[in-house]
Amino acid sequence: MKKFIIPFCLVFMIAGVNISRAQVELSKQETKEWKRKAKDLKKNPAELKRIFEENAALNSEVSGYKRQIASLESRLSEKDADLSKMRQRVQQMESEMAASKQQQEVQSTSGPAYDDSGVLFKVQVGAFRNKDLSKYFENTENFSGETTEDGVQKITLGRFRDYWEADNFKKYLREMGVSDAWIVPYKDGKRVAMKDVLEGVI
């Protein structure tokens, strides 16, 4: 009986089977068959060696596959993290776009929010009677005008904080043929005389 136990154990060790005693329950026919195989392996050490080496090679291959799986799972986790960040970024951009669109809609309904506080210089390019260009003033920062009590509409171009920039613009307009171009000052949105803003500006 002892001569059968050693090869029998070797077969299970070679096959890499790690089964508890409670799980190893063979029928009489299976026991007889495995005893025969163990006896054959005892008589054929070359075959036993081949099985052992093949098992070792398979175990090594399985270990390699396990390492590859672990590496792929790690990379998959990184990709999932990147994807989560990208989704958060997309949501943030969508929120920003929605807020920007809402702000544009508010501005379009409330009109342009130009800052007319302080001193501004514009270049008047003409004064016209019976010509109404006011529909072009809306939502146009650099094209504006005003109508006097006697019905004359004065058209201005540009909005400058610096007098000399306005002066250069006036010169360019005159070179282009607008001979009547001249600078007009505004203070807090109201047209004023040049002398009222000259001190500390020019």
Burial tier of 170 (Cβ tally within 10 Å: 0-12, 13-18, 19+): buried
Determine the pLDDT at residue 107: 61
Report the length, in residues, of the chain: 202
pLDDT in tens, 124-174: 888 888 777 777 777 677 788 788 888 888 888 888 988 999 999 999 999
What residue ranges do the domains of the chain occupy?
2-43, 119-198
Mean of pLDDT values over 57-78: 90
CATH topology of domain 119-198: Alpha-Beta Plaits (3.30.70)
Determine the pLDDT at residue 48: 76
Determine the pLDDT at residue 202: 56
Least confident of 2-11, 17-26, 94-103: 2-11
> Between 136 and 66, whose confidence is greater?
66
Say if residue 35's pLDDT is above 80: yes
> Between 94 and 107, whose confidence is greater?
94
Measured distance CA(192)–CA(185) in Å, rounded? 6
Contact (Cβ atoms closer than 8 angstroms) between residue 95 and residue 135: no
Tokens 């094209």 belong to 143
> Between 31 and 112, whose confidence is greater?
31
Mean of pLDDT values over 62-69: 90
Q: What percent of the chain has pLDDT over 70?
A: 82
Q: Average model confidence (pLDDT) for the chain?
A: 79
pLDDT in tens, 168-202: 999 999 999 888 898 999 888 888 888 888 776 65
Measured distance CA(17)–CA(11) in Å, rounded? 9
